[in-house]
């Protein structure tokens, strides 16, 4: 890591805050390589004080991967891959306000997601993150053997998560809002870069196991949903204007806390193309 860049771990489970880097400028290859190593270690990186234009934000994203459009919400003008994640003063439900891994209902879910804070409430609006490597590692060996052979059906139409999209679809719908997306993925996902196994189900999208009914799947899935967000597997990030969070969608989940009713919160999100989970 270049001497001027500091990486400070923020919790035992995951997360690190990076200082000493200006993301408005192109990053040298060695700096980006060092940040990638830190990202693989900590799963989510946080940057402060990055007041980026959309062009600069896109340039930073392209250093990590290929930005892709979100199926349900239009991007901002001139930048279809940047969507507004917002909750307005009169709204009571926040966008994506449930523990989840982004768009697990796609055949090729995104590798990573990033958020840039534009407008924040006077209090609240933090985001929680959870380490799915540790969620897998802390299961019993007997349960691991059971899960290793299972695949889960993931759907965009789960009631709890569709409710968190309703306000944005009404105001910013992108044409995919009438479609239902479904995909089958392994419950134990192997990360293509680290080779580590991660628990790859989430309460927002995972409906049942392949070959099982929803009724049969529910008790085991509900146990996994509780297990994977145990406090010791998580970290919490308090946003400031210009803060950026970049997380590995293949091995981390997140949950934006909805505790600021009556206030506005506006973020810009970019997701990066991934591969088919294996």
Place of tokens 């060092």: 34
Say yes or no to pLDDT of 32 above 80: yes
User: Could you say which of 74, 189, 250, 269 is catalytic?
Assistant: 269
pLDDT digits (tens, 9 = 90+) for 142-195: 999 999 999 999 999 875 565 654 555 556 665 555 578 999 999 999 999 999
User: Could you say which of 42, 100, 165, 168 is catalytic?
Assistant: 100
pLDDT for the residue numbered 175: 56
pLDDT for the residue numbered 165: 47
Cα 55 to the center of its chain, rounded Å: 22
pTM: 0.93
Query: Confidence band (pLDDT; 50, 70, 90) for 3?
Result: confident
Which is more confident, 40 or 2? 40
Proportion of the chain in helix, strand, coil states, percent, rounded to 5? 25, 30, 50
Give the dihedral sign, CA 84/88/91/93: positive
Query: Confidence band (pLDDT; 50, 70, 90) for 96?
Result: confident
pLDDT for the residue numbered 157: 83
Residue 275: active-site member: no
Which is more confident, 101 or 178? 101
Mean pLDDT of the chain: 93
Q: What is the DSSP string of 13-26?
A: SS-EEEES--TTSP
Q: How far apart are CA 101 and CA 205, in angstroms?
A: 8
Place of tokens 């008790």: 219
96 contacts 271 by C-beta, under 8 angstroms: no
User: Could you say which of 168, 254, 265, 268 is catalytic?
Assistant: 254
Residue 254: active-site member: yes
CATH code for residues 6-272: 3.60.130.10
Residue 102: active-site member: yes
User: Could you say which of 42, 102, 165, 167 is catalytic?
Assistant: 102
pLDDT for the residue numbered 164: 56
pLDDT digits (tens, 9 = 90+) for 207-247: 999 999 999 999 999 999 999 999 999 999 999 999 999 99
**Through-space distance between the first and last CA atoms of the chain, rounded to whole angstroms:** 31
Place of tokens 């192997």: 190
pLDDT digits (tens, 9 = 90+) for 43-62: 999 999 999 999 999 999 99
173 contacts 116 by C-beta, under 8 angstroms: no
């Amino acid at each position: 890591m270049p001497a001027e860049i500091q990486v400070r771990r923020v919790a035992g489970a995951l997360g690190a805050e990076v200082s000493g880097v200006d993301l408005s400028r192109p990053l040298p290859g060695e700096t980006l390589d060092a940040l990638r190593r830190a990202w693989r270690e900590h799963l989510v990186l946080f940057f402060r004080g990055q007041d980026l234009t959309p062009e600069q934000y896109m340039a930073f994203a392209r250093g990590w991967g290929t930005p892709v459009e979100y199926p349900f919400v239009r991007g901002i003008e001139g930048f279809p891959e940047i969507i507004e994640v917002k909750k307005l003063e009169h709204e009571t439900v926040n966008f994506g306000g449930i523990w989840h891994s982004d768009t697990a209902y796609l055949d090729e879910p995104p590798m990573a997601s990033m958020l840039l804070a534009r407008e924040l409430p006077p209090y609240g609006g933090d985001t929680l993150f959870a380490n799915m490597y540790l969620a897998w590692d802390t299961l019993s060996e007997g349960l691991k053997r059971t899960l290793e052979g299972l695949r889960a059906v993931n759907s965009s139409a789960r009631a709890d998560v569709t409710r968190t999209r309703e306000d944005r679809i009404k105001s910013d719908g992108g044409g995919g809002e009438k479609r239902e997306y479904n995909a089958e993925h392994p419950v134990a996902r192997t990360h293509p870069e680290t080779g580590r196994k991660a628990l790859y189900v989430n309460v927002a999208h995972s409906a049942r196991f392949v070959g099982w009914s929803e009724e049969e799947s529910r008790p085991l899935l509900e146990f996994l949903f509780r297990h994977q967000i145990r406090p010791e597997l998580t970290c919490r990030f308090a946003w400031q204007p210009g803060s950026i969070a970049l997380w590995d969608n293949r091995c981390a989940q997140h949950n934006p806390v909805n505790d600021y009713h009556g206030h506005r919160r506006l973020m810009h999100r970019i997701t990066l193309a991934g591969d088919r989970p294996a």
